[in-house]
């Protein structure tokens, strides 16, 4: 049956309104997602995660790494001047105004250095001699001079023996003009360097001429310039600056002696002839001003101090020459190759440096005349704190001790290098000491310094107590305890124990 309504009438019928209508503020994504959830859509847009496409990358000429913010340039402090750090490291302070002044402290002079009643006491170095000792660099930075009111040194048994030796050699007796050669050995802190300082103080007291090499290692470290000695001797090398420094130390420390002595020999090695009235002080200053002439001037000065009679034409102003004291600290550094290189880039042995060769040649006995014709003392020391490993040198020292004890070199008890140890023949040659031609020249002796005795240790600790450093009662038990803790009286260890402040609890 055909419906009575037509299609046009159906389209006119009213349509019902929806119960819920989506607000116009909801985005399409939220509307699309609303069909999958039962909760009401939110009124603010949902955060969407940005998708990274494969073609995304750095822009043209843009770095891929993370950008670091450049730091603003800061003003760097100016480095210290050349030599200031070394001067600060080697600064010597000889006085502490905060320390107590030791009352009744005697000076180290010609009378007290041989007085056996002062054995174990501490004597103060004269103030007038401090500049001379500074000039020869007798003080070391780590010796603890800055903790006392004034520098002083303890009188030990070896000090009295050396003082009597200086007294005999400076007099008119049988020991006048005698030559004594010693090599000091001993453990670390046994007082080898201070023993040489005492020898320098005695030499200045007796108006001797002092030559000092404060650190033998500095001559082998390649820190100063060097050059072949001459075309005739290209295998020997001269260190002009080091020689000029030695002349400077000698001129300042021995000014009182050198200014009264005049030139008495001819010196053809110098470029200009030296006038007759020139003092040895003026001769030394020539090498100080011109380092190129330092080595010829040093040879001329050594010839003048070793002269026993004047040359022709110099009889008017000639005076007898005083004895000489030569000290070298750190002898072991001269028994190996140095840091210098020759033309073939090979290391130069320390014995090929004319400066080193001269002082080592003094250990040899003179052929006809003594090594020091006017007498003197050679005092060379080894260092235990800065000691290179040299088995050959240790064997050489043992051979010298065996010769000193009377052991025959041909006997089986005489020390010999180990097999296949490849010993240095130039170092062993030091121990091959021939018999001196002169009766006043003795062989090389090895002197080993040990610890202080209990009496000497007591006087040393009393000096600390009187200076206000040691707050303990000095008794026999306390001295025995410190002496034992210091390795049977090693003076360096006693100094460490004496500097520790101890205050009794109230």
Please name the residues in contact with 483: beta carbons below 8 A apart, sequence gap of 6 or more. Answer: 451, 452, 454, 457, 489, 494
Q: Which two tokens stand for residue 195?
A: 């023993």
Quick one: pLDDT at residue 46?
A: 60
Question: What is the distance between the alpha carbons of residues 138 and 193, in angstroms, rounded to a whole number?
Answer: 8
Quickly tell me which residue has 């995304």 as its tokens.
Answer: 56
Q: Which residues, at least 6 apart from 317, have a Cβ–Cβ distance to it below 8 Å?
A: 262, 264, 276, 277
CA 3 to centroid of chain Cα atoms = 128
Annotate 216-248 with b (16+ C-beta within 10 A) or e (fewer): bbebbeeebebeebeeeeeeebbbbebbbbbbb
Tokens of 450: 């040990």
297, two tokens? 């001037």
The pLDDT, as a whole number, for residue 26 is 47
Looking at the DSSP bridge assignments, the partners of residue 380 are: 183, 328
Q: pTM score > 0.85 for this model?
A: no
| CA–CA gap between residue 358 and residue 215 (Å, rounded) | 16
pLDDT at 47: 58
Cα-Cα end-to-end distance for the chain: 132
Contacts of 227 (CB under 8 A, 6+ apart): 237, 238, 240
Q: What is the pLDDT of residue 69?
A: 73
Sequence-ordered strand ranges (E) for 268-369: 324-329, 337-341, 347-349
User: ∠ CA 448-451-453 to the nearest 5 degrees?
Assistant: 120
Closest CA to 308 of 323, 296, 325, 327: 323
Instruction: Using alpha carbons, select from 339, 336, 329, 328 the residue that is nearest to residue 390.
Output: 336
Q: Are strands 227-228 and 441-448 parallel, antiparallel or unpaired?
A: unpaired
Helices (H) and strands (E) in the chain, counts: 16, 11
- Helix/strand/coil for 279: strand
Beta bridge partner(s), residue 122: 154
Compute the distance between CA of residue 302 and CA of residue 309 in angstroms, rounded to an integer: 14
Instruction: Count CA atoms within 13 Å of residue 451 on its CB side.
Output: 18
| CB atoms closer than 10 angstroms to residue 109 | 16
Q: What is the pLDDT of residue 90?
A: 86
The pLDDT of residue 498: 85
Q: DSSP E strands: which ranges in 236-387?
A: 237-238, 324-329, 337-341, 347-349, 376-381
CA distance 87 to 375: 36
Domain boundaries, the chain: 177-186+202-448
Longest dimension (CA), the chain: 172
Q: What are phi and psi of 121, to 5 degrees?
A: -90, 165
Measured CA to CA, the distance from residue 400 to residue 382 in angstroms comes to 14
Per-10-residue mean pLDDT of the chain, 506 residues long, equals 55 54 49 51 56 56 66 81 87 90 91 92 94 94 90 95 94 89 94 95 96 94 92 92 96 95 90 85 94 94 93 86 95 95 94 95 79 93 90 94 91 91 91 78 91 94 90 90 93 87 50
Choose among 56, 338, 87, 65: nearest CA to 219. 338
The three-point CA angle 493-497-503 to 5° equals 180
Cβ contact 288:240 at 8 Å: no
Q: Are strands 152-154 and 179-185 parallel, antiparallel or unpaired?
A: unpaired
Q: For residue 419, what are its two tokens?
A: 């097999």
Rounded to whole angstroms, how far apart are CA atoms 438 and 423?
31
Measured CA to CA, the distance from residue 380 to residue 328 in angstroms comes to: 5
């Amino acid at each position: 049956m055909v419906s009575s309504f037509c299609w046009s009438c159906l389209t006119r019928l009213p349509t019902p309104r929806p119960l819920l209508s989506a607000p116009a503020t909801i985005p399409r994504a939220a509307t699309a997602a609303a069909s999958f959830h039962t909760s009401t859509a939110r009124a603010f847009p949902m955060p969407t995660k940005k998708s990274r496409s494969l073609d995304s990358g750095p822009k043209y000429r843009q770095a891929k790494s993370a950008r670091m913010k450049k730091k603003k340039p800061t003003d760097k402090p100016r480095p210290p001047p050349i030599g200031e750090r070394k001067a600060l490291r080697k600064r010597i302070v000889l006085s502490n105004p905060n320390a107590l002044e030791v009352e009744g402290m005697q000076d180290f002079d010609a009378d007290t250095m041989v007085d056996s009643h002062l054995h174990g006491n501490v004597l103060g170095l004269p103030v007038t001699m401090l500049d001379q000792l500074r000039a020869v660099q007798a003080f070391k930075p780590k010796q603890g001079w800055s903790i006392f009111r004034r520098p002083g040194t303890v009188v030990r048994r070896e000090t009295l023996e050396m003082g009597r030796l200086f007294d005999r050699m400076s007099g008119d007796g049988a020991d006048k003009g005698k030559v004594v050669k010693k090599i000091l050995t001993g453990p670390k802190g046994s007082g080898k360097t201070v023993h040489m300082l005492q020898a320098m103080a005695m030499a200045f007291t007796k108006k001797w001429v002092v030559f000092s090499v404060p650190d033998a290692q500095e001559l082998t470290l390649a820190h100063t310039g060097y050059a072949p000695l001459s075309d005739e001797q290209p295998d020997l090398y001269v260190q002009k600056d080091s020689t000029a420094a030695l002349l400077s130390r000698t001129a300042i420390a021995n000014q009182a002696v050198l200014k009264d002595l005049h030139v008495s020999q001819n010196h053809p090695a110098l470029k200009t002839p030296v006038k007759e009235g020139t003092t040895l002080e003026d001769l030394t200053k020539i090498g100080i001003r011109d380092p190129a002439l330092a080595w010829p001037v040093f040879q001329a000065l050594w010839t003048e101090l070793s002269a026993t009679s004047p040359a022709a034409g110099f009889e008017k102003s000639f005076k007898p020459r005083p004895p000489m004291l030569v000290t070298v600290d750190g002898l072991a550094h001269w028994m190996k190759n140095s840091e210098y290189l020759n033309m073939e880039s090979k290391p130069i042995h320390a014995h090929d440096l004319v400066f080193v060769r001269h002082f080592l040649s003094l250990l040899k006995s003179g052929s006809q005349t003594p090594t020091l014709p006017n007498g003197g003392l050679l005092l060379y020391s080894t260092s235990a704190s800065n000691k290179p490993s040299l088995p050959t040198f240790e064997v050489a020292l043992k051979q010298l001790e065996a010769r000193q004890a009377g052991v025959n070199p041909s006997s089986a008890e005489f020390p010999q290098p180990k097999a296949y140890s490849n010993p240095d023949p130039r170092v062993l040659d030091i121990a091959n000491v021939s018999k001196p031609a002169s009766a006043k020249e003795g062989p090389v002796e090895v002197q080993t310094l040990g610890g202080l005795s209990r009496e000497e240790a007591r006087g040393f600790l009393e000096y600390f107590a009187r200076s206000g450093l040691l707050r303990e009662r000095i008794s026999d038990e306390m001295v025995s305890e410190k002496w034992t803790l210091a390795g049977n009286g090693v003076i360096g260890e006693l100094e460490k124990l004496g500097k520790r402040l101890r205050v009794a609890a109230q």
